[in-house]
Structure 1
Amino acid sequence: MTIPEDLRYTKDHEWMKLLDDGTALVGITDFAQSELGDIVFVELKADGTTLKTHESFGTVEAVKTVADLFAPVAGEIVASNPELASAEVVNQDPYNAWLIKMKVANPAEVEALLDAAAYRQLIGE
């Protein structure tokens, strides 16, 4: 199971990568996509939507289940990944198949997320 060291993680199995411009990419982890199985559809809230920490920003639909997606931190959605028209990219490469790009309201919140070691411990790796 891949767990990149340069990302932050949530207990809900989302990852976040803070970018230099104060925005961040958000996706689901390798663990999450493997637990969900074949992902067939991703539905996301619209660009411009303001999110509170842990607020749902969409859903991911797999063959057997639908799972909510939660914002790791507060902020505003500024973009959705256009490659998600083919939802299977999330299964193929979960750390490059980001779901949303968001403007982070408080960058200090990102530091409070799990690092790779803590996430490994959470999932029992």
Structure 2
Amino acid sequence: MSTHYTKDHEWIRVDGDVATIGITAYAQEQLGDVVFVELPEVGKVVAAGAEAAVVESVKAASDVFAPVAGTVVEVNAALPDAPETVNSDPEGAGWFMKIKLDGTPSDLMDRAAYDAYLATL
């Protein structure tokens, strides 16, 4: 299971035909302390690049985009009551949703490419 990244600072781990999605540590650092997370409904069909969730911090509210097309099959039910999990473990326990893939993900970067991208910001 490999992790890939988007230019919008989401991470995605694909396991078979299901992708787990969250925001990167860089995104969390830019946002500051996350205080609220709005997750999609299970069963929602999302297009690649479309808004899938909302994260609010003490600084700003930001959309979380779906890096892949598919159907939401699970959400991290703990996040609405414990949004600080995104602060402490954004690329682990702070995951947002799982999407059953509709096709093959594209336009994703591996860790080295993402780190190189971050160096340009």
Shorter-chain TM-score bucket reads over 0.9
1:53 has 2:48 as partner: yes
Equivalent residue, structure 1, for 2:98? 101
Deviation at residue 6 of structure 1 after TM alignment:
3.1
**TM score, norm. by length of structure 1:** 0.89
- The separation in 1 between residues aligned to 2:2 and 2:66, in whole angstroms, is 18
Deviation at residue 82 of structure 1 after TM alignment:
1.6
Secondary structure of 2:86's counterpart equals: helix
Taking the TM superposition and a 5 Å limit, the aligned residue runs for 1:14-53 are 14-20=10-16, 22-53=17-48
Size of the aligned set, in residue pairs, is 118
Q: Which amino acid aligns with 1:106?
A: G
Deviations 1:93-124 (CA, angstroms, capped at 9, x unpaired): 011111001101113x25x4111111001111
Secondary structure of 1:123's counterpart equals: helix
- The separation in 1 between residues aligned to 2:66 and 2:78, in whole angstroms, is 20
1:12 has 2:1 as partner: no
**TM score, norm. by length of structure 2:** 0.92
Deviation at residue 14 of structure 1 after TM alignment:
0.2
- The separation in 1 between residues aligned to 2:2 and 2:113, in whole angstroms, is 13
Deviations 1:57-101 (CA, angstroms, capped at 9, x unpaired): 011000110000000010111111022020000010011111001
Runs of 4+ in 1 over 6 A off after TM superposition: none
Point out the structure with the larger helix share: 1
Q: Which amino acid aligns with 1:67?
A: S
Q: Which amino acid aligns with 1:120?
A: D
- The separation in 2 between residues aligned to 1:33 and 1:12, in whole angstroms, is 12
Unmatched segments (≥5 aa) in structure 1? none
CA-based RMSD of the aligned residues comes to 1.5
Percent identical residues: 42
Q: Which amino acid aligns with 2:95?
A: W
- The separation in 1 between residues aligned to 2:55 and 2:116, in whole angstroms, is 24
